[in-house]
Structures are given as C-alpha cells and as structure tokens.
Structure 1
Amino acid sequence: MSDDGHEQNGTGHESVPSRQRRRFPGISSRAYEHPADRSALVALRKLSGFDTVFKALSGLLPERSLRLMFLSDSVRVSDQQFAHLNDMLRDACYILDLEKVPPMYVTQDPQPNAMCIGLDEPIIVVTTGLVELLDEEEMRAVVGHEVGHALSGHAVYRTILLFLTSLAIRIAWIPLGNLAIMAIVTALREWFRKSELSADRAGLLVGQDLKASMRGLMKIAGGNHLHEMNVDAFLKQAEEYEAGGDLRDSVLKILNVLPRTHPFTTVRAAELKKWAESRDHQRIMDGHYPRRTEDKDTSVKDSFRESANHYATSVKSSKDPLMKLVSDIAGGAGDLGGRVRRGFGGFAGAAPAEDQPPRNGSDSSDGWDGTTDTPPRADD
C-alpha cells in the first residue's frame, strides 16, 4: 500500500475505487494534449515572465469574486460533503500525479456543466444538474477531464476568456474597440475548443473506461435516456455531420461553432474514440509518455510543426465539402469553378461538359457536348 492509502499490486496498477487503474507518475500534460492546444501552451510557457504577468493580472480579473461566490453560495466537496466526489477528485489527482488537489464545489444549477477556473489556484465547479445526470464512472471521467484542465494550465486562459468576453460587452459602444476584443476572443475560443479535446483525453486516462466516457457525452447531448440511445448510432451522427451537405453546410458549420467554447458533443465523442484507438494512447497506457521534467526542453518550433502537420492531415482526410475543396486547391486541382458550383449544389447552373458523365454508356470522346439530348446534325 502506498503512503496515501492506495493499494498497489505486482503489475504496477493502482487499486482505486471499484477496479484497478493504471497510474502515470510524473506525466506531462503534453502526453494527452491536442496538437493545436499543445503548441499554444508550449509557446506561452516558454515566454519569459509569463507566469508573473498573468499573476499580476489576477488583481484585474474577477477571480477573488468568483472564489467568494462559490465559497458562500455553493457546497465545497470534502470528506463530509459529497464524499464520493471527493474520492473521485483525489483519485484523479493521484492517477495524473497532480500534487495539489484543487478545491471542488457543487453549485445549484439544473444545466449539466463543469468548469475549471482560476489564475493562482484553479478551482473545479460542477453543477447539480451534472451530478444528477451521470453515474459514478461517467462522473469519474468528468472529474478527470477537469483535473486535466488544471494540469495543463487551461484554467488561466479560461479565466482570461471569461474576462475578455465580459469586457467586450462593456465596451461594445466604443467604435472598433469591441471588434478588437472579439477578434482575440474568437481566437481564444478556437484554442479552447481544442483544449476541451485535450481534457476529454485526460478524462479517459483517469476513468480508463471508454464506454463510460461515451455514455457521459451522450447524456450531455440527449439527457438521462440511455435506453433510448446507442453509441454506434451517436458516432454515425458525427460522421454524417462531417461529411454531409455541400459548401453551404460547411459555411454554416463554421458560423455555428464560432461562438462556442466547446466542440459539439458528437464531434467530441468521435475524436475521443479515435484517440483511444491510437498508438499514442496505447503508449501512454504502457507507461511510455513525456515527463514534466522534460517540459523545459520542449521545442516550440517542433510543437508548431506538429500542430501544422495535424491540421494538414485533417484537411486531407476530412470528408467535409469545404475541406475537400481546400485540399483540392492545395493539390492544384483543375476546373476549380466547376468544383465550387457542384459544392454549392449546382446553384450556378449546369456543370461544363467535361464534368458531365457520358450518356447512354458511350465514351465521353464521341463528340457529344453533354449539354443537350439532341444529337448533332449530319452537316455540323
């Protein structure tokens, strides 16, 4: 048995509530971070005086107010209050080797939600709606998700995002001022959506139960009606969302996701399943992962290159019509105009002759122009 009361066995696994789970001593958050999330974090961590600057900002941000609000009007998780959540929190920190356990609060709100905020010391907040919605293993993945945010340092940037969003509303009357703030907010939201994918991976490392993670995401999307839902069908929705429609749908997808801080739940489920089946995940489970002691030696250039490669691969493999068009343009595809017209559902009229299939099974080189059903006259 270890010093903190967790039983150990000869296989290197730790006995935590319900079943055995593997622990990851000294694991760096880089092990599970999404490439786009990781590159931004590595760059920020390399900035000289970064921590000092953001701690200085704490006086300008409503962190103290938030802490006092939750302390005064929510329930702090402990051995005496929501003890089962306290056990999950301690286990999550133990598995990810987070030395200081962040405070957790349960706040009355029927909307299922959880967040990790704070500059100096992160705090985790879960709503009663979430606690009532999820079972033990599903909740364990959520707690691991939030601990993953804390380990990565996402709480700092989320707090700043909340502050800037509030600031944008206050200065909306200033010409161009709001536009400048919202440009920063939009970029932060894109980064934060990727950070959510990172935290989903951390939740899987803590819970080590992919089915529970999938169930939790389905419940967030469709409520507590598991008997009416199916994981495979839910994942097919993600495939249909990515591949369906034309360029108009692609544009609408972008517009729909811009104001969000979280990816859509079907997309999160599909991304998590893909990562769970990847070699990267298996290597972590086998004990091969980057350590925190190596973080200071991480190359910013390599991180950005990895992020760029990830986006390039995503564009090439994407089934989304807009991403296909981008890939075709990058590949020097011919007849760009015809592809765009077809992408928008043929709104510009019929495609040129070379884009039409041969008629009546004949070869396209038989002299027909493909724009009429009337054959050419003998004297043409």
Structure 2
Amino acid sequence: MSGDDEATGTAPVRRRVILTGISSRAWEHPADRGALAALRELRGFDDVLKALSGLWNERALRMEALGSAIRVDHRQYPRVYRLFAEAAATLDIAELPELYVQYDRSINGMCIGMSKPFIVINSGSLELLDDSELRCLLGHELGHLLSGHAVYRTMAMILHDWAARLSWLPVGSLALRAISAGLREWWRKAELSADRAGLLAGQDTHASLRLSMKLAGGGDLSEVDVTAFLEQAAEYDRAGDLRDSMIKIGMVLDRTHPLPVARAAELRNWIDSGEYQRILGGDYLRREDPRASSVREDVKSAADSYRETFARSQDPLVSLLRRLGDGAGDWVGTGAGRVRDWMGGGGRRRANGTQGSRTADPWSAATDPDEGQDDQPGDPR
C-alpha cells in the first residue's frame, strides 16, 4: 500500500509490526556501529562530552527552539504529533522527546542535544511529504535518538566550529580538521542507520524511497519513477572515468549526509539483503539481550563493511585500485612460490624429475581469496 493511499484514506491502513524492545544495534550500519563502539570505549570520553556540552551551552539550543519554533503536541500540529507517536510506538519508545517545527521550506530534520536530546523538523517537510513519508522522516530522527547519535553529532558541530575559529593556527587547525573529517565520515554512515530506522518505523518501502527522491527533486513526484531513480543511482556509482571519481570524492568529503541517490541505493540494498524482513519477522537484537556487544567485533564488522563496499563498487577509481590489488596479490603469490622453490623444495622436485611443478606446491597458488570471482557482481535488484 502506498503512502498516498494512506494519506487520502482510499485504502485500509496496514497494521505495522510493533518492534518490542528492539535495540538500535539491530538496524545500525556496521561502520556506524563500529565508530560508536570505539568512541564509547575511550576512557574519559563522557567527561570530555560534558565539558563540550558546557562550552556549547545545550540550554541555549533548547531555548532557541522554544523561542523561535513551534513545539508539537496534541494541540499544535496534531497531524505531526499523531505520526510522531505512531513512529515512536513502532520502535517501542515509551517517552516521546520534544519535537519542534521551524520555518524552513526544505525537507530536513535534526536530533540535537546531549543530556536530553530533542528533534527539530523543517516546515517544508510538512508541506512536501505525505503521511507515510513524514512518518518515515520522524522515525529517522528517532533512530538517531536511540543510537545516541545526537551526542556525537553535537560534538561534531563543536569541533567544526573550533576548526573554523582556529583556522589561523596551522597545527591545531589541521588536527581539528582531520578529526572533523573523520566525524563527518561517521556521520554519513549514521544517516544510513537512521534511514533504516525510518523504514522500520513506517514499514513502507515505497515511502522510504520516495523520501530520498523528494530530497533530490522536491515534493512533486507525479512524473518521477522509482526504478529509474535507482538506475540513476547505479549510473552515478559507475559513470565516468578517474576524473569523475575524484570529483565525487570532493563532493562528499565536506558533506554530513550521503547524496540522495546513494541513500536510496543503500536502503534498497539493505532491503534486498533480507535484513528488513528478518526484523519484521521478530528476529532482531533486544535492548536487554544477554549477548554483550564486543568492541572488537563491531570494529571488525565495520572493516568488513568497507571491504564489501569496495568490492561491490563500480566506481572507476575503485575498480582500478581493485585491479591493482589483484595484480599485487598475484605477484606476491608467484614470488612466494619461487622463493620457496629456490630455498630447497624446488631442488628436490627437479631431482625427482618433476621440473618444480607449481601444482605440487601450495605456496604457488594465488594469495587472493577472491580470484576467479566477478569483481562487479550483478545488481541484486
């Protein structure tokens, strides 16, 4: 059922699955989860955050929202409040955070604050999104809340501000800029996690993809096609040559959010992986799950995720690096076999009349575990 049908009341409302006790780890992107685990493991990090909170003055953020935006409740923006409560109930959130609507004609929202995070969405989201899409957006922000992203997002804002203020200091500014760049990379992965939370909150795959489309092209999708948009995302990934690859890197480096077409493709890949249906079927981590999280496992999963993305990408620069890596692996494997032969094994084989056959020596096998596999697997869609 589409979100438009739900908004207009032309079709019965589909019952959403309540994800009782679901942990944010169930939907978090591996790179996001690994970064969060590493940050939380740092000794004294909570004290640093408290100090930064005092410098940033979280009270000022809340007072600004209270004084310049509209706080949502059953009397003010009741439609938004209903969708907000529905999204929270689906993700099993008992206590709603404060929600504000600020005047801005673009589609956007944010979850900010450290001790008591709150959510702000733009008025353009109310104007341009139907009920299903807006529920998805609100679920996205609630996903940030449950993962604790607001804390680190606020920290990223502080460091970005510091880097700008200390730009006249060459060493200090470079260090802060490096940290800020790392946080932006994490932030982009955190957005992918929140996209998954938004999908789980609304449980409407078409609405989630439409939200990315509206982020790209505005509110009117009457002449836009989901399949064509996803094809566009695939073209963006593989199109052009090395110059285009460098342009894409430059485009993303200073962004806190992935590009809309990339977000849609990532969400479609997650749906196609079966994880979404598995969670709806009740197979997911609970908040009180006795299985303790392991920082080492989370960091390893993050590394595996980057490796899989690297292997799957059709970007020209990535394809070149992958081919160079395969060539290096073949060279190392061949070289290791020859050294092994030279150090004694080959002499005995030649004495036995085998002429140092490579098939008899496991060292001569290619060291690349992916040898013989397709570097560019077909689109699972």
How many positions carry a matched residue from both structures? 320
Query: Which residue, out of 115, 119, 122, partners 2:110?
Result: 115
Query: Which residue, out of 16, 30, 37, partners 1:35?
Result: 30
What is aligned with 2:197?
202
Identity %: 51
What is aligned with 2:126?
131
What is aligned with 2:238?
243
What is aligned with 1:314?
309
Deviation at 1:50, TM superposition (A): 4.0
What is aligned with 1:279?
274
Deviation at 1:334, TM superposition (A): 9.2
In the TM superposition, what whole-angstrom CA distance separates every residue of 1:287-328 from its partner, at most 9, and x where no partner exists?
011111238711111111111111111111211111112222
What is aligned with 1:373?
none
| Distance (Å, rounded) in 1 between the aligned partners of 2:46 and 2:279 | 28
What is aligned with 1:350?
none
What is aligned with 1:140?
135
In the TM superposition, what whole-angstrom CA distance separates every residue of 1:125-154 from its partner, at most 9, and x where no partner exists?
001112111111100000000000000000
| Distance (Å, rounded) in 2 between the aligned partners of 1:27 and 1:53 | 29
Give the aligned residue type for 1:252.
I
| Distance (Å, rounded) in 1 between the aligned partners of 2:43 and 2:20 | 28
What is aligned with 2:165?
170
TM-score (norm 1): 0.80
| Distance (Å, rounded) in 1 between the aligned partners of 2:144 and 2:75 | 25
What is aligned with 1:61?
56
In the TM superposition, what whole-angstrom CA distance separates every residue of 1:190-215 from its partner, at most 9, and x where no partner exists?
00000000000000000000101111
- Structure 1 gaps of 5+ residues are 1-16, 337-380
| Distance (Å, rounded) in 1 between the aligned partners of 2:254 and 2:68 | 29
| Distance (Å, rounded) in 1 between the aligned partners of 2:290 and 2:40 | 9
Is 2:80 the partner of 1:85?
A: yes
Is 2:126 the partner of 1:149?
A: no
| Distance (Å, rounded) in 2 between the aligned partners of 1:317 and 1:51 | 37
| Distance (Å, rounded) in 2 between the aligned partners of 1:130 and 1:218 | 13
Bigger fraction of residues in helix: 2
What is aligned with 2:300?
305
| Distance (Å, rounded) in 2 between the aligned partners of 1:36 and 1:140 | 25
What is aligned with 2:178?
183
Work out whether residues 106 and 125 of structure 1, in 8 Å CA contact, stay in contact via their aligned partners in 2.
yes
| Distance (Å, rounded) in 1 between the aligned partners of 2:273 and 2:330 | 37
In the TM superposition, what whole-angstrom CA distance separates every residue of 1:239-277 from its partner, at most 9, and x where no partner exists?
011001111111111111001000000000011111112
Deviation at 1:189, TM superposition (A): 0.4
What is aligned with 2:318?
323
Work out whether residues 62 and 163 of structure 1, in 8 Å CA contact, stay in contact via their aligned partners in 2.
no
Deviation at 1:72, TM superposition (A): 0.7
Work out whether residues 136 and 207 of structure 2, in 8 Å CA contact, stay in contact via their aligned partners in 1.
yes
| Distance (Å, rounded) in 2 between the aligned partners of 1:201 and 1:43 | 22
What is aligned with 1:231?
226
TM-score (norm 2): 0.80
| Distance (Å, rounded) in 2 between the aligned partners of 1:318 and 1:237 | 15
Give the aligned residue type for 1:169.
A
Give the aligned residue type for 1:163.
I
Work out whether residues 105 and 124 of structure 2, in 8 Å CA contact, stay in contact via their aligned partners in 1.
yes
| Distance (Å, rounded) in 2 between the aligned partners of 1:310 and 1:172 | 34
Query: Which residue, out of 54, 70, 74, partners 2:69?
Result: 74
